[in-house]
Structure 1
Amino acid sequence: MVPEYFIFLRFYSYISSQFLLLPLSKRICSQMKATFECQNNSLLASWTLSHSHENVFTPWSDETYDAYRDWYGIICDNGWVNRVNITKSNVNGTLYDFPFSSLPFLEYVDLKIGKLVNLVEAYLGTNHRLYYTEIGNLVNAKLFYAFSNELSGPIPAEIGKMKSLENLSFQTNNLSGPIPKTIGELTELKLLHLYTNQLSGPIPSELGNLKNLSDLQLSSNQLPGPIPASFGNLKNLQVLYLRENKLFGSLPKELAYLDNLVVMEMDENQFSGHLPEHLCQGGKLESFKVNSNKLTGPIPRSFSKCSSLKRVRFDNNNFTGNLSEAFGIYPELQFINLSDNDFHGELSSNWGKCKNLTNLQVARNNISGSIPPEIGKVNRLE
């Protein structure tokens, strides 16, 4: 069975006209239906043209007002197609002919499609007219979700025209090429999910212009190069996922300016050098992972006071320093892995005060001394 995926798009647009485009829209809807598999779908059997609606432009009339009354999943507002919802129709297709241009008052599209493919080529492809007539004109679009499909090809630079976007989600596809610099022009953006694709090229510094961004996830791609210092401008950022890429270089000191960070995961890259001082100075960091890199030097002193930590991974690096001095007391800490580094010293009795700790790993270091009896009081250790 083909897995069902969900695509949700919501946009607000206005195009003035003295004529209704309903007949043309019905024709294009029929063309869209023709691209679907399962042509015998009973729910979409109502998507048919009648001889009374063959003209392209039809002035206002009671007839056109209810032109879509019997069409499954089509809802009109004052004679214009306002909503399309076919989540229960169980169709597969490409959506090459989705009629954005002919539905100027469309506010809501809700589709549950078994296999959505080639959407980027159909609507974002640089050689396809639909891109310029559709995406470029969606200047009031707020949400664009096209995740968990089989989309391929690059993300075109023209996506930067969608100035009102707040959420942009293309994760879990087969997109390739660089991240467009023009995404940095989407200054209303709060969420940007591009993870689990084949994106390449360095992270554009223009992403630092997204000062409203709170959730940035670029993991599981082929991105090389350093983290731009401009990321220090993302003062509202709460979630930062850069894991499983080909990123290298030192972590910029500007990351310590992100006082609202709750999650920072950059594991499985090729970062080198020291961790920036003053990380976690905002006191909100809960998940911090830099395992499987080439990082060196001591753990910043700020971490000893970062009481908000819940999950931490420093393993598989070249960190140094006295283990008994580098870490403090973490009342919320559940998991910490310090294995495969060059830590020395003794295990601190402070670990016994981390009452929620379930997993403490310090294997393959230079630890000496005895095991503090206080660790035996952490009754949640697994």
Structure 2
Amino acid sequence: MEDPPARSTQAFETEAIHAGEEPNLDPGGTGDLVSPIHLSSTFAMDEAGDPSHGYKYSRLGNPTREALDRRVATLSDAAHAMTFGSGMAAIATTCLTVLESGDHVVAFDGIYGGTKVLFDDYLAEHFDVSVEYVDATDVDAVADAVTPETALCWMESPTNPLLKLCDVEAIGEIADRHDAVLAVDNTFATPYFQHPLALGADVSVYSTTKYLNGHTDSIGGAVVTNDDGLADGIRFVQEYALGAMLAPFDCYLVLRGSKTLPLRMRQHEANATRVANYLTDHEKVTAVHYPGLESHPQHDLATRQMDGFGGVVSFEIDGGGAEARAFAESLDLFTLAVSLGSVESLIEHPASMSASYVPEAERLASGITDSLIRAPVGVESADDLIADLEAGLRHL
């Protein structure tokens, strides 16, 4: 792993507003405080070959996207950031850059379902890539799974929807010893609450759809790294092989949304903590999963590895699938919907929604029971959110 760039001396809150959108006050500059949305698909050249302004075709480079890339890189303490048309595009491009036929992957058994589909139904089927899923809460399990063919360790921390954590620093040391790439999906924690590259990861990925944008109006993804060679490879696959970049208007939306990321994350966490404590004491709730609770089995790791505990709470009600669905459908402020990370509070029943395509035996083995509820907690009044949950639990 290469040395990271020097950290900006400015605070995260300052960089979230200014990084990538420094006004151009040079002669001919317009002084925009907000990055213009450059919708042009192609750019006029002053000479054949390489134009002096640096832009040829928006798939290969766009000023609005470059502004967002600079901001995401700055907030992630990374030398490089590339933004994509979706989180899955970011994940797939990273995998296609790193992996070759016959390679082996060690993956957290709690990874996002879309990533698991990519591994099992595409890379394994078409590229002869083998994947071993392990309980990465146990560092020894990861070490035991690594083989001479292991090229990639794919982790999430916290995971979706059970909020499990893995020790990124320890797993980074394992990956380094075996010349494997460690990639961490940092979507739940965001660069505000967790810094995978500083902990030893080679790559960190995000669904910008979630907290980085934060307003339920854009789908996107990002990859950050300090490895120059890896960044070059990812850019080549993104721009020339897949064309999987984020559109200029979506770049503008994420630039706008990311300015309030620190404010939102603090409120998400404060509300999630209130909700988690409320649910812990409720007689109709049998389990609560939230890293901020002392009862969470990896609370100490969360305290050491993260700067905050995030905004997602999952819990199990005293009942089966029918009761869980009825509860989720009965709420008013918590909107029944998939996704997470926006200002609105959402609610979902994973067994019948985001994990509905997973075979039942596999789903249950992973801990996604019929009674499990996932609640991405928004930034509304915590009192109003708790009142909404109380009304739903009362009618179970």
Decide: shared fold, TM above 0.5: no
TM-score for both structures, normalised by structure 2 = 0.20
Work out which of the two has the higher radius of gyration on C-alpha atoms and give 1 or 2: 1
TM-score for both structures, normalised by structure 1 = 0.20
Q: Whose RCO is larger (CA < 8 A, sep 6+)?
A: 2
Q: As a proportion of its length, which structure holds more helix? A: 2
Q: As a proportion of its length, which structure holds more strand? A: 1
